[in-house]
Structure 1
């Protein structure tokens, strides 16, 4: 044989199995001929022998991991006479087990145990085969038990309902149950909790926390005086602070495209009354991009004039504010040195600074 002296811990390779099979079929055949045949074989043909080699290796690994322990027997020098009679029925001889060749026996054992000895590395598989301890889930509460019973009934009676509709119906029926009807499921819940005391703690409901006396801690208010009132008129419900629009500010200038869109949009609406706003905006953008530089020039000039208008108005506003500030400062300085006024207290309605100036 090609592998008469083999290692008991290592399976023969695929080529060795092929040599054994060919010599069993043909008889004596040289190793050189078998080597040439093996080299011209396809991958699919070699895969059969590779799988057999892997199966044999799996079996050898299993045998090495689970050694059989035999009790050791020592022959004693003391001879004890036995007065008990010999058993009339001698033990039945063990059935004859033929000695199969190495490759055939290993392959047969591997094929029979292949599906049970695949390496299992995932946590779920380890837990299933006893490598990791099995964790017990938290038992269902009363509503989940009611949900289980009602879902089966609704699913059988109403085939057309979706899962969401069934859940809504179950929730509505649970709210309509009387305390006596809920008592059955509450008792079942308590029984399951007593049976599964080592269940995994996941989360407690608000009712359970309240029953246990757990009080939710409130964050201290750092600035209680600065907390805004919730009854302010016009307050944004999302809690955002709105900026008050200043009507005295000049209008911001528009770009050339915005001036063009402002002019052409009413024309497009009259031309296409049933068109959507997004379609009209898309058409305006297409016309703007298809215009030549000469056609764009008038709109660019309009945008430049708008920018000049904005700059002039902002300049006038700044000058006006400076003039008002100068007048206020002059009024304050003159009121401090005035002594001829018959009024004892003079009020100046300035911005938010309100002061009273007594006359000495």
Structure 2
């Protein structure tokens, strides 16, 4: 498997990466009673579904139609699927992004791939699902930095990407999106040299972006791209937003544009956000307390100096630690634990069947 993520892959590498294997880890629970798997696991097996996904899954998400949407940057070079744009002459000697598919839809039930048309560059963009299952996808690189795109999965599989004429207020490359309790409103925060946030849709034509000093405070000037991109954002049970960047975190009232609480810094050396690229998750809410308790877990990342060392050809072990924080406690403190090994850039997708779909792999152990 070739590990593919963000801007760590050259165009040459991407031409090879379109031959990635599409694998699924089958978990045998229920009637199978946890059959033993080779290697001492809890049960399951690897199954090859397709030899080629056709497009590198820089971004991958599951839709409510039980399809998997994958898309890559338009500057990645030719994919496996050639398009036939109206009025265009596509040749192999000159690369034209509009002549190739840079997004596909994978149908889980039929095990088939359908090429899609995406016009603007989605390199390290971000997105969130709206109430009707439409993916609102924003930002990216080059001609995509302020773009808003929509993909609404359909039963006849004839749907495609739609690009809005309305633009974002700020450039959003490596930003984060979070759906809000308000009807189909999305909170978009951060991005390279974007120390602010905005909403989609806007409440008025004049509404722009709002400054968030927290992003300037967490920007590490000693590291290229600052170690606070793709901030972790989770919606708390009280309607406020938990925002984590670099090593620090806050509880943010997006209605009144103010910080309600500043949490303790996560213990340990190193950063957790891009380009250090750890991960975060909100743990399952519990019925016993009417879903009020909210616990966030942050895992992995890079030790201090790892990006600079990598430029010198020295690759340092990633972080092994995970931290859990109950953000709804009156005086929350991080509870730390160690993973079996160092971990960074861990991406996979859980399907409705319980299978785990892996396309672009995970970089484990080193940065």
Name the TM tier (shorter chain): under 0.3
More strand by share: 2
TM-score (normalised: structure 2): 0.14
TM-score (normalised: structure 1): 0.14
**Structure ID, larger Rg:** 1
More helix by share: 1
Identify which of structures 1 and 2 has the higher relative contact order when contacts are C-alpha pairs closer than 8 Å and 6+ apart.
2
